Structure 1
Amino acid sequence: MSEKHLQTGDILPPYTGKLRLFAMRFCPYAERSVLVLNAKKIEYDLVFINLDHKPEWIFNFNPKGAVPALEYEEGKAIFDSNIINVYLDEKYPEVPLQASDPLRRAQDKCLVELFASAQSAYYTAAFAPQNVEPSTVENYKKGLDLLQKELEKRGTKFLHGDEPGLIDYTIWPFLERFEALPLLGKPEFSIDKSKYELLVTYMEAMKNVPAVKAYTLAPETHAKFTESRVKGDANYNMLDTSAVCCMRPRKKKE
């Protein structure tokens, strides 16, 4: 699959009849929906969008021009990762990802809401040119503490239970990116294994979930993309090898 991000002037690829997700490869919100589609083993097409130079037709699928947007029928779409993912879980119930208990579903939503402050702290830290305010570090650490305590309270391998669920696929994309912060010169945002042993164990388990493993990127890759955005020239196509895949043979592994 090409990971080229389509931009202004590029034509909309033909509709194949599958679900089609419009995303951006480095967007954590779009990743949430990719992980849910993967977890449910639904066939889908993935179209990446350059968010700095958006193709004109993306506004037909989301008037805001944002991702993710899910085309569920030709020319018809819904948007926002939370809306998309609940729709997918209800439309394709064969692999249920939400808790069956209404109270647990509500608690999961509360957890996501409380974790949002850590997500905001991540963005501030990632795109701040130099040092960040102590309050940003505090909000970030509160998010880590929240997850550590919740994992201890629930006593399960994943937040959802013995298998990952919607709550895990919602939070994971940010945990994946948290590990890039020390590489961006922000050591105060490192995740101390001795303090967050349960959280670190949880993160390692998530990395090995097939739905995650098929899409996850290394901290070094996230750091490299973030650096390009900070410089004002986001390298959306840094992963795209479609132009050279037929020209350069792969090297044999030693």
Structure 2
Amino acid sequence: MSEKHLKAGDPLPPYNGKLRLFAMRFCPYAERSVLVLNAKNLQYDLVFINLDSKPEWLFEFNPKGSVPALEYEQGKAIFDSAIINTYLDEKYPEVPLQATDPLRRAQDKVFVELFLGAHSSFYVAAFNPDGFQPSHLEAYSKGLERLEKELEVRGTKFLHSNEPGLVDYTIWPHLERFESLPLLGKADMAIDGTKYPRVTSYLEAMKQVPAVKQYYLSAETHAKFVESKTKGEANYNMLDTSDVCCMRPRKKKQ
């Protein structure tokens, strides 16, 4: 299998009739859609993109040139993880990932929106540590506190229910990356199990979810990618094991 990221000048791989997701292996937004595809047990191909040298044909699927983009029919695509994932959940309802109650669906979206501050703080801490301010640590801590409280209020194993849903697959990719922060010199951003016991249990539970296990990368792997990117030499292909460019994801041995 391959995790080679295609770049400018590389040809578009042949279309095989399946759903096809254009992604970047270390992109949390693309990971959201991978997790939903996995959770729904859908057959799909992955095409990884070098975001520093984008293939010209990527813009045919997303004029913004960003990932993820989902090719749902040959030459036809939608983009943005929130749009893609809602489409997948409605198009393939056999494994529903959203609450049936409209209010709970709205509350899930509100929670995701409020958790964005923690996402932003992670990016500053990881990729621009010189710009990190006390306000970033405050926003990060507030996000973890909000998640801790939400898990307590809902009283379920996952935010969705006792099975993970769209809200969980939406916030998980960033939580997965949060664990790399101590390895990047941010010991004060480690997730303290005594302070956040429910968050800690939630993290461990999510790691055991089949849809997550197929695509999960360790904190060490995420830290290595961040370090390569901050040095100006993003190592997109650090996980590549063959010359095949389209693949089904699998769990990596770290």
Q: Under TM normalisation by the shorter chain, which class is it?
A: over 0.9
Q: Does 2:93 align with 1:124? A: no
2:43 equivalent in structure 1? 43
- Secondary structure at the counterpart of residue 78 of structure 1: strand
CA distance in 2, matches of 1:201, 1:127: 27
CA distance in 2, matches of 1:42, 1:186: 38
Which deviations, in whole Å up to 9, do the C-alpha atoms of 1:150-195 show, x marking residues without a partner? 0000000000001000000000000000000110001111011000
Which deviations, in whole Å up to 9, do the C-alpha atoms of 1:27-75 show, x marking residues without a partner? 0000000000000000000000000000000000000000000000000
1:225 equivalent in structure 2? 225
- Larger Rg over CA atoms: 1
**Once the two structures are aligned, what percentage of the paired residues are identical?**
74
- Secondary structure at the counterpart of residue 97 of structure 2: coil
2:252 equivalent in structure 1? none
CA distance in 1, matches of 2:46, 2:131: 37
Q: What are the ranges of 5 or more consecutive residues in structure 2 without an aligned counterpart? A: 244-254
Q: Does 2:104 align with 1:104? A: yes
1:154 partner letter: R
1:84 equivalent in structure 2? 84
CA distance in 1, matches of 2:7, 2:166: 31
1:33 equivalent in structure 2? 33
- Secondary structure at the counterpart of residue 89 of structure 2: helix
Runs ≥4 residues deviating over 4 A: none
CA distance in 1, matches of 2:205, 2:173: 14
1:45 partner letter: D
CA distance in 2, matches of 1:123, 1:129: 9
Contact 2:114 2:143 in 1 (8 A): yes
- 1:214–1:158 distance in 2 versus 1, CA, 3 Å: same
1:207 equivalent in structure 2? 207
Q: What are the ranges of 5 or more consecutive residues in structure 1 without an aligned counterpart? A: 244-254
CA distance in 2, matches of 1:151, 1:241: 39
- Secondary structure at the counterpart of residue 72 of structure 2: strand
1:55 equivalent in structure 2? 55
1:163 equivalent in structure 2? 163
- Secondary structure at the counterpart of residue 135 of structure 1: helix
TM-fit CA distance, 1:132: 2.1
- Secondary structure at the counterpart of residue 56 of structure 1: coil
2:71 equivalent in structure 1? 71
TM-fit CA distance, 1:95: 0.2
- Secondary structure at the counterpart of residue 199 of structure 2: helix
2:36 partner letter: V
1:214 partner letter: Q
* CA root-mean-square deviation: 0.8
2:247 equivalent in structure 1? none
Relative contact order (alpha carbons < 8 A, sep ≥ 6): 1 or 2 greater? 2
TM-fit CA distance, 1:129: 3.9
CA distance in 2, matches of 1:131, 1:91: 42
1:146 partner letter: R
TM-fit CA distance, 1:131: 7.1
Which deviations, in whole Å up to 9, do the C-alpha atoms of 1:63-121 show, x marking residues without a partner? 00000000000000000000000000000000000000000000000000000010000
Contact 2:5 2:237 in 1 (8 A): yes
2:248 equivalent in structure 1? none
1:149 partner letter: K
Give me the TM-score of the superposition, normalised by structure 1: 0.95
Aligned length: 243
- Secondary structure at the counterpart of residue 21 of structure 1: strand
- Secondary structure at the counterpart of residue 241 of structure 1: coil
